[in-house]
Amino acid sequence: MADERLELLRDNLAAMKRRIATACAASGRDQNEVTLVAVTKYAPLEDVRRLYELGVRDFGESRPQALWERHPQLPFDARWHMIGRFQTNKARRTLPLVSMVHSVDRWSLAETLSSLSAERDRRLPVTIQLNLTGEETKAGFAPEQFVEEFGRLLELPGLDIVGLMTMAKHEEEVERCRATFAELRQLRERLGERRALPVLSMGMSNDFDIAVQEGATHVRIGSALFAEPAT
Ligand SMILES: *Cc1c(COP(=O)(O)O)cnc(C)c1O
């Protein structure tokens, strides 16, 4: 029996990759610079397995418990990205399972992740999450606070700070997200003398084309990957 769901996911994945390629072409970038992280928080495990079968290796989850459950269900070469609110008391069990934490949104979390990683002689690749929209409900360092603490963050022995992450405001007018993404890139440039920050984790289902045009290296795509085509 044909797996219709597999065909749908194959089509959606191909469409996302085409859009990433188009956005790269529009901004003179190489599409190999962009990693599609499939955000599976709303997807059933069967769909996660189908994506793996289709060649996806980077998976994003926003809840530690979901990572604990799903990590053993996929082959070892799947890479798991922690992208959501991360309570420090969940860190010890989560860390061995992740290849990167995108959502380092506060000093106390950075410290905890560093000491747990250092215990294991590991430097954990992380991006620092910035709150550039000033929304109170949104996690992340405020930009000035981050610039002030950057030196201290770089000294944490268990962290390898590879870049920055942000979420744009959910706008009717998608083009408005561009300013947020550009701001993250400019912040990276401003800190570039102290540390190269190659990773920019930005762009979701609604706004990833623009994020790629503005320099995203990791787009975190959930709903658009699993959606049925509009009829
Ligand atoms: C859910 C989530 C995404 C994916 O969102 P979609 O709009 O479904 O693509 C990306 N990043 C974070 C941090 C998320 O929590």
30-34, 59-63, 150-154, 167-171: the lowest-pLDDT one: 167-171
Q: Kindly state the tokens that stand for 95.
A: 């860390």
The CA 205 to ligand 1 mean position distance, Å, reads 7
In this prediction, residue 2 carries a pLDDT of 62
Q: Could you report the per-residue pLDDT of 77-121, keeping only the tens digit for each? A: 999 999 999 999 999 999 999 999 999 999 999 999 999 999 999
Residues 139-158, mean pLDDT to the nearest whole number: 97
CA 142: distance to chain centroid? 18
- The pTM of this model reads 0.96
61-70, 114-123, 172-181, 216-225: the lowest-pLDDT one: 172-181
Model confidence band, residue 231 (pLDDT cutoffs 50, 70, 90)? low
**Considering the chain, what is the average pLDDT of its residues?**
96
Residues 6+ apart with CB under 8 A from 199: 127, 162, 163, 164, 217, 218
Residues 6+ apart with CB under 8 A from 104: 86, 110, 113, 126, 127, 128, 129, 159
Three-class secondary structure assignment of 161-189: EEEEEECCCCCCCHHHHHHHHHHHHHHHH
Superfamily classification of domain 2-226: Alanine racemase (3.20.20.10)
Look at residue 172 and tell me whether its pLDDT is greater than 90: no
DSSP state, 32?
Answer: G
Q: Kindly state the tokens that stand for 20.
A: 């990433």
DSSP state, 96?
Answer: G
* Ligand 1 close to Cβ of residue 201 (< 6 A): no
Residue nearest to atom 4 of ligand 1 (CA): 222
Residue spans of the domains in the chain: they are 2-226
The CA 42 to ligand 1 mean position distance, Å, reads 10
Q: Identify the helix (H) or strand (E) that includes residue 152.
A: helix 143-154
Model confidence band, residue 184 (pLDDT cutoffs 50, 70, 90)? very high
Measure CA of the first residue to CA of the last residue in the chain; give whole Å.
Answer: 24
The CA 1 to ligand 1 mean position distance, Å, reads 32
Specify the ligand 1 atom closest to the Cα of 221: 9
Q: Could you report the per-residue pLDDT of 30-63, keeping only the tens digit for each? A: 999 999 999 999 999 999 999 999 999 999 999 9
CA distance 148 to 144: 6
Look at residue 170 and tell me whether its pLDDT is greater than 90: no
Distances (CA, A) of 158 to 116, 122, 124: 7, 6, 6
* Ligand 1 close to Cβ of residue 227 (< 6 A): no
